A and B are shown apart, each in its own frame.
Chain A
Amino acid sequence: MKANAESILEVRDLVKHFPLTQGVVVKRQIGAIKAVDGVSFDLHRGETLGIVGESGCGKSTLAKLLMALERPTSGSVRVHGRDITTARGAELKRMRRNIQMVMQDPYTSLNPRMTVGDIVGEPFEIHTDVVPKGGRRRRVQELLEVVGLNPDHINRYPHQFSGGQRQRIGIARGLALQPEIIICDEPVSALDVSIQAQVMNLLERLQNEFDLAYIFIAHDLSVVRHISDRVAVMYLGKIVELGSDAQIYDGPTHPYTQALLSAVPVPDPEGRETRQRIILQGDPPSPANPPSGCHFRTRCWKAQDICAEQTPALEPRQGSGHPSACHFAEVRDVVNAQ
Chain B
Amino acid sequence: MTEVLSEQVGRGSHSGALLEVDNLHVEFRTRAGVAKAVNGVTYSVDAGETLAVLGESGSGKSVTAQTIMGILDMPPGKITGGEIRFRGVDLLKLPDDQRRKIRGEGVSMVFQDALSALNPVFPVGWQIAEMFRMHRGASRADAKKKAIELMDRVRIPAAKDRVNDFPHQFSGGMRQRIMIAMAIALDPEILIADEPTTALDVTVQAQIMGLLAELQRDSNMGLILITHDLGVVADVADKIAVMYGGRIVENAPVHDLYKNPAHPYSKGLLESIPRVDHKGQELYAIKGLPPNLLEMPTGCAFHPRCPYRRDNCVTDVPQLYTISGTRGSACHYWREVIDEGER
Contacts and interface: CB of A to CB of B under 8 A. Distances in A.
Nearest to A221: B276
B290 interface: yes
A193 B228 contact: yes
Residue among B268, B274, B279, B287 with most chain A CB within 10 A:
B274
A207 B86 CA distance: 54
Contacts of A223: 274
Interface in B254-280: 254-255, 258-259, 268-270, 272-277, 279-280
A96 to B, nearest CB: 31
B209, B269, B276, B282 pick with most chain A CB within 10 angstroms? B276
A245 B285 CA distance: 22
Given A194-B290, A223-B274, A335-B277, A264 B201 contact: no
Contacts of B232: 265
B299 interface: no
Contacts of B210: 277, 279
A71 B198 CA distance: 33
A269 interface: yes
Contacts of B137: none
Given A164-B289, A283-B204, A267 B157 contact: no
A62 B93 CA distance: 56
Contacts of A266: 231, 234-235, 275-277
A219 B157 CA distance: 26
B121 interface: no
A226 B274 CA distance: 6
B203 interface: yes
Interface in A216-275: 219, 221-223, 225-227, 245-246, 249, 259-261, 263-270, 272
A194 B285 contact: yes
Nearest to A245: B279
Contacts of B157: 282
B113 to A, nearest CB: 14
Interface footprint category on A: 35 or more
B308 interface: no
A198 B285 contact: yes
Given A164-B289, A194-B268, A263-B205, A204 B273 contact: no
Nearest to B228: A193
A268 B202 contact: no
Given A266-B275, A269-B255, A197 B283 contact: yes
Interface in A275-307: 277, 279-283
Contacts of B270: 267
Nearest to A205: B282
Interface in A163-219: 164-165, 192-198, 200-201, 204, 219
Contacts, number: 134
A221 B274 CA distance: 9
B286 interface: yes
A330 interface: no
A282 B289 CA distance: 39
B57 interface: yes
B258 A201 contact: no
A50 to B, nearest CB: 11
B207 interface: yes
Contact of A260 (B203, B235, B258, B274): B203
B174 interface: yes
B229 A196 contact: no
A190 to B, nearest CB: 10
Interface string B142-181: 0000000000000001000000000000011110000000
B231 A196 contact: no
Interface string A95-107: 0000000000000
B122 interface: no
A197 B203 contact: no
Given A268-B258, A270-B255, A192 B284 contact: no
Given A267-B234, A268-B258, A222 B273 contact: yes
A245 B275 CA distance: 12
Interface of A: 54-55, 162, 164-165, 192-198, 200-201, 204, 219, 221-223, 225-227, 245-246, 249, 259-261, 263-270, 272, 277, 279-283, 335-336
Interface of B: 56-57, 157, 171-174, 201-207, 209-210, 228-235, 237, 254-255, 258-259, 268-270, 272-277, 279-280, 282-287, 289-290
Given A200-B274, A223-B274, 11 more contacts: A54-B202, A165-B289, A194-B269, A196-B272, A201-B282, A204-B282, A226-B274, A249-B276, A249-B279, A267-B233, A270-B259
30 contacts: A162-B289, A192-B56, A193-B230, A200-B274, A201-B282, A201-B283, A222-B273, A226-B274, A226-B275, A226-B280, A245-B279, A263-B202, A265-B206, A265-B209, A265-B229, A265-B231, A265-B235, A266-B275, A266-B276, A267-B234, A267-B273, A268-B258, A269-B235, A269-B254, A272-B234, A272-B235, A279-B207, A280-B207, A283-B173, A335-B277
